[in-house]
Amino acid sequence: MKWVDACHGIGGFRLGFEKAGWPPPVAAFDVQERLVQFYNDRFGGGSRVADIFDVSENPAWIKEKQVDLVVCGAPCQPFSHANANRQKQRKPTWETSDPRIYIPFAACELAAKLQADFVVENVLGILDFWGGEYFSRFLTFCEAHGYHVGWTYMDCAAVGVPSRRRHVLIFGARTEVAGGSGPVLELFTRGIGEEHTLLFEQRETSCLPFRVISQRHTLGFGQYVVCEIFGPGDDSFRLRSFGLREVEFLLGFPERYTEGLPHTLADQALADAFPPPAAKFLGRAMSFGPKV
């Protein structure tokens, strides 16, 4: 499998895919220089600072690699129901909206120029953004670029991540290879069955000195409240938010994974990240990784 890690952030997709037996991506990029430096430190290089809009316009440096799949973890903030600005945009226009809403379109365009399939990940809010008009336009755009598009929810709790957050995975399969075996077409055919969750070891959280008592759904930015227990059999407790190290653990990242990043950037990057256990699940489900 030759794949591109687009808008990679701190590398959640790569960590999970490698655990599923995938090779490193043939190309990787992100617009934030500090995250590219972090990614290269963690994975031994391979990424460059680049804007997906520029790359989709001129992907010559990637095209020669004969890519099979473009994976893009588009920033979720513009689409999130927790975004106050989203709620204020009663009659938004393409010209006045957050430019990050164009990233899924750029990912599709990049994949089309590379003659590759694509996977775009985001939050549930992308489906009803602008009352569904945005997603409808995106589907039309993808079809015009020669893709059959499908989407599904990824419930992270089903793959061992103790979070209620549900991700949306949008898959684009090239229609011109409908009789072939592209990675996304194979995934459409085989499906992502619930039985696959049995392949994933559940993360052990009982060793942590706290339990979640909040009903709030978003992990990151201090929005999860926990009840910290002071000692075995001790009824004393206090309310506090998760720290970065705890968020890393619960999302399935290695211990102290974001160490070295500024706190605010690490917090935002973890909130944007696709959990590695979920990426591992996806990698195993796709045909060009090891067969499930």
**Per 3-state DSSP, what percentage of the chain is helix, strand, and coil (rounded to 5)?**
40, 20, 40
State the alpha helices, DSSP H only, in 23-158: 33-43, 52-57, 60-63, 84-88, 103-114, 125-128, 133-144
- Between CA 33 and CA 14 the distance in angstroms is 18
- Between CA 9 and CA 22 the distance in angstroms is 19
- Between CA 277 and CA 15 the distance in angstroms is 9
Which residue type occupies 116? A
Which residue type occupies 19? K
Structure tokens at 105: 């379109």
Cβ contacts of residue 198 below 8 Å, gap of 6+? none
- Where residue 36 falls (left for φ over 0; alpha for ψ -120 to 50; beta otherwise) is alpha
User: Residue 190 above 50 pLDDT?
Assistant: no
- Domain assignments of the chain as residue spans, ordered by start: 3-201+274-285, 210-268
pLDDT of residue 95: 63
Q: What is the CATH number of domain 3-201+274-285?
A: 3.40.50.150
What number is the average pLDDT over the span 200-219?
A: 37
Mean pLDDT of the chain: 77
- Between CA 216 and CA 214 the distance in angstroms is 5
In this predicted model, what pLDDT tens digit does every residue of 59-117 receive, in sequence order? 999 988 999 999 999 888 888 877 766 655 555 566 667 888 999 999 999 999 999 99
User: Residue 199 above 70 pLDDT?
Assistant: no
What number is the average pLDDT over the span 228-236?
A: 50
Segments of the chain assigned E as strands: 3-6, 27-30, 47-49, 69-73, 117-123, 147-155, 166-174, 210-212, 225-229, 237-241
- Between CA 102 and CA 51 the distance in angstroms is 12
- Report the b/e string of 205-237 with b at 16+ CB within 10 A: eeeeebebeeeeebbbeeebebeebeeeeeeee
Tell me the β-bridge partners of 3: 69
Which residue type occupies 43? F
In this predicted model, what pLDDT tens digit does every residue of 36-58 receive, in sequence order? 999 999 999 999 999 999 999 99
